[in-house]
Amino acid sequence: MAQVGWVFLSEQGGQHRVGLYHGDKSGHLAIHCDRRVVQIDFSVKESRKYSFFIEDDLCEISLIKEHGRFSYEFAVNKTVDTPLNQARKLRSKRNRRTMSLLIGGLVLVLAIILSTVSYYRQQETAQRLRAYSMFSQPSAKAEQQLIEKGKTAETALLIVKEGKYRTIFYGFTTADSLRISGRFSVTYPGSIILPNGFPLSDRDAFTVLYLPSDPQVHLVDFSRPAKTTLENYARQAVEAEQKAHPEKSDHACNCLVAMVLQENGWRALGNIIFQTSAPEDAPQFNQNSYARMLRDERFAPKLQERCWDQ
């Protein structure tokens, strides 16, 4: 005689012992729960299923005959339409809705946090750039006068460390031999980035535009660096390329810089100087602008032929 038993734990916390007796020859079957017979059947010699309730759960015992032998399975039917299963479905639906709301709320909070962080990083970058722009823009009227009547001179920027500050001195001489000078303090500890996007080095020189009638009205034109400053930018670009790509030869690094100057102009040297910088740290020149420059369909073949294939 086959004798099988199970322990069933209900949702209400009840513990129930379920079992069956199945005669080997007669096939007579008895199913019991907690020592109480709940089902009796006779001459059960083929596969069959029996259903009965334990508390509010519809339970099923399956007799499965394979290759002349029986196996027995106990299961709770959670799909049939019973009051408990209806409650389960409603609870599951509420749980899914609650989980969806929680996930949606979490995604919204994360989006707000990321958006806020991105905004403040942009504001911080903009503030740094404003701090770096040592020469404020003149009024619209003064700028128009500079365009119409201004004359040019050359000014060099000298960096002097004074405690925790760095002071930038500059000066130029007018056509009437008047000496105009000024100074600005910088507290930010990192590189000083000029409005043209390049880092300031000591004694970098640029064209300055001034009014002959009032030289105090002047504007440093960072888009017109002096020859020595251009040479400094080229030297920084070579050093940046060598540092970022130690596997390249000196010839390849110098060739790249020369090609960029020839094909794209001096401004494109910023892509090389800041090639390891992230866009949020260096908006004007960064690793993305460097990659775009090297992939340019006009520039890339020439670079390959003149620099990389040598």
Tell me the pLDDT tens digit for each residue of 99-154: 888 888 888 888 888 888 776 665 554 444 333 334 455 667 777 888 888 999 99
**Cα–Cα distance, 126 to 129 (Å, whole number):** 5
pLDDT in tens, the chain (310 residues): 789 999 999 888 889 999 999 998 889 999 999 989 999 999 999 999 999 999 888 999 999 999 889 999 999 998 888 777 887 787 777 878 888 888 888 888 888 888 887 766 655 544 443 333 344 556 677 778 888 889 999 999 999 987 777 888 999 999 999 999 888 788 777 888 888 999 999 999 999 999 999 888 888 889 999 999 999 999 999 999 999 999 999 999 999 999 999 999 999 999 999 999 999 988 899 999 999 999 999 999 999 988 876 5
256 and 301 fall within a common domain: yes
CATH, residue 33: 2.40.128.180
**Cα–Cα distance, 113 to 4 (Å, whole number):** 58
34 and 18 fall within a common domain: yes
**Cα–Cα distance, 116 to 203 (Å, whole number):** 39
141 and 221 fall within a common domain: yes
Structural domains of the chain, count: 4
303 and 247 fall within a common domain: yes
- Picking from 225, 247, 268, the residue at the C-terminal end of a domain is 225
Contact 279, 288 (CB under 8 A): yes
149 and 124 fall within a common domain: no
220 and 141 fall within a common domain: yes
37 and 107 fall within a common domain: no
127 and 141 fall within a common domain: no
25 and 67 fall within a common domain: yes
Contact 193, 134 (CB under 8 A): no
- Picking from 186, 207, 225, the residue at the C-terminal end of a domain is 225
Cβ partners under 8 Å of residue 275, min gap 6? 240, 241, 244, 286, 287, 290
**Cα–Cα distance, 26 to 80 (Å, whole number):** 32
304 and 234 fall within a common domain: yes
The pTM for the full model equals 0.55
- Picking from 225, 241, 258, the residue at the C-terminal end of a domain is 225
178 and 141 fall within a common domain: yes
Helices (H), the chain: 83-132, 140-149, 227-244, 250-264, 269-273, 287-295, 299-303
Tell me the pLDDT tens digit for each residue of 3-32: 999 999 988 888 999 999 999 888 999 999
Parent domain of 272: 229-308
61 and 109 fall within a common domain: no
